[in-house]
Structure 1
């Protein structure tokens, strides 16, 4: 992919792209929002959607004032930062820290479709670092970019509703969700195989509430029990057994909230043959019995 000629800090096509959307928060409103307890943590200042963005590109030798999220849902492009040039195709996500020199642009023969955000706030840099740590650099890859693109679309809709505290907070919430999704599901290489932890998690989710022993789970993914346990704790914060219990408890809450099944039936549906043991486990995790949980006041 050849890099097109790009004017510094300017779109290569000034008139824009057919079907594009772009929202910019007035800087005075952004400054006020940064003093708010919610939007001060994460604030979207600019957001947009550029479909089939032929000749699109940016070059910022001094970086941008905000952090950038670029999500490619079609076509191809490239990004250059830190002395390295990265190809970007469908599912590619670029996260660029503020004040870091960079350039990016669409491929000439197959221009990308891009969803993007500029964001700032006290928690913004930490989210960017977390994504870089997970991916090993500024470019990560999603097997399905649609959920993140949908969240960026929600940000655009929120900002399009007017520059109010409510709309900026809605935009911040959707942006946080999008960035968290990138951190949690982004991968180092496009089309790369699932990691052992990802394969183990997919198996546990597919077979829940049936219990899989740690030994069997480790054998499935080609690791020792100690290796798999260490990776689970590193990536999920819990052991494989604790993760299985979390899945069972999540299913139990769904049944207690959404059905009239007796507690003994809920226990069986979540993989516990002994209702008393199920109740003790539930109390351990929720500080109340299943019956008390079901009777708790619920919001509307």
Structure 2
């Protein structure tokens, strides 16, 4: 993997097919840094770059924020004052704020990255702890999917564009950084299966729906291969499994709360209560109201 195969002029920052990226406006960042909780840890940027051919950045003066990158497929490299490091599938890279750095995707096997930029006292302490644990900026995660999943949740939260979204993003980011800091692994070893990692992500993010393409990228597989493996091991396609999770949540709420059906629909990820009722009836043979009344 020769870093000279991609010239500085040919590197690109973003614009990859299927990418997701949220950049919080800097006036909003300054305001949010004055609020409780987010003054200690704030996510300013986050995203997902699948198969990011020609991706790369050079920051001789470093960035204003700490940077976490998680590679779930492909490979690349990064260079910091301590030297050059190869980055492969399952590796997490932590770059402290103000540290000069350069990184790029492999020309022959470009990486898929989940990434975020964070600032605040808690962020600085977590990054420092992670560096001490790994004895450097790169550590290998036995299972990168939980950290990638948390970054995905961070992107979703920032997309809300609200103070509550900033808080949710801060919580997910804190958890992601803590997992990397607690990792203490620099060597590669057996990993959970791709299907196990995908199922864990879906359970953690219910009722949000995740596309099959995003799930496949999360675990570093092609869409066709992932879909076939998921159906083989779980027994149903990924989208059906997500619907089953949401319906399980709906049954729980119908049995344990007095919430209106419309509120339960929203809690389970359905904006349209009528569509939710049709789906529930098709699945259970009873409408939500009849299901709730069945034991009375």
Unmatched runs of 5 consecutive residues or more in structure 2: 192-296
Q: Deviations over 1:154-205 (max 9, x none)?
A: 000001112x210000000000000001111241233399xxxxxxxxxxxx
Aligned to 1:2: 2
Q: Distance in 1 between matches of 2:168 and 2:24?
A: 14
CA spacing shift, 1:143–1:15, aligned 2, 3 Å? closer
How far has the Cα of 1:83 moved from its partner?
A: 4.2
Q: Quick one: distance in 2 between partners of 1:151 and 1:177?
A: 7
List structure 1 runs of 4+ shifted beyond 3 angstroms. none
Alignment correspondent of 1:279:
none
One of 183, 186, 192 as aligned partner of 1:185: 183
Aligned to 2:78: 79
> What runs of 5+ residues in structure 1 fail to find an aligned partner?
194-300
SS of structure 1 residue aligned to 2:121: coil
The alignment's TM-score, normalised by the length of structure 2, stands at 0.62
Match in the other structure for 2:94: 95
In structure 2, relative to structure 1, the CA distance for the partners of 1:12 and 1:181 (3 Å cut) is same
Deviation, structure 1 residue 6 = 2.5
Aligned to 2:50: 51
Q: 1:29 to 1:133 in 2, by over 3 A?
A: same
Counterpart-to-counterpart distance in 1, 2:83 and 2:68: 18
Shift of 1:41: 0.7
User: For residues 189 and 118 of structure 1, do their structure 2 counterparts lie closer, same or farther at Cα, with a shift above 3 Å needed?
Assistant: same
Aligned residues: 189
List aligned pairs for 1:36-185, cutoff 5 A.
36-162=35-161, 164-185=162-183
Which protein has the larger Cα radius of gyration, Structure 1 or Structure 2?
1
Following superposition, the deviation at residue 15 of structure 1 comes to 6.1
Contact 2:14 2:55 in 1 (8 A): no
What's the CA shift string for 1:125-171, capped at 9, x where partnerless? 11111000100001111011000000000000001112x21000000
Structure-2 separation of matches of 1:115 and 1:186: 20
Q: 1:15 to 1:153 in 2, by over 3 A?
A: closer
Q: What's 1:295 paired with?
A: none
SS at match of 1:123: helix
Equivalence for 1:200: none
Call closer, same or farther: CA 1:173–1:61 in 2, change over 3 Å: same
Partners of 1:24 and 1:12 lie apart in 2 by 20
Note closer, same or farther for the CA distance 1:98–1:143 as it changes in structure 2 (3 Å cut): same
> What TM-score, normalized by structure 1, do the two folds share?
0.61
Match of 2:247 in 1: none
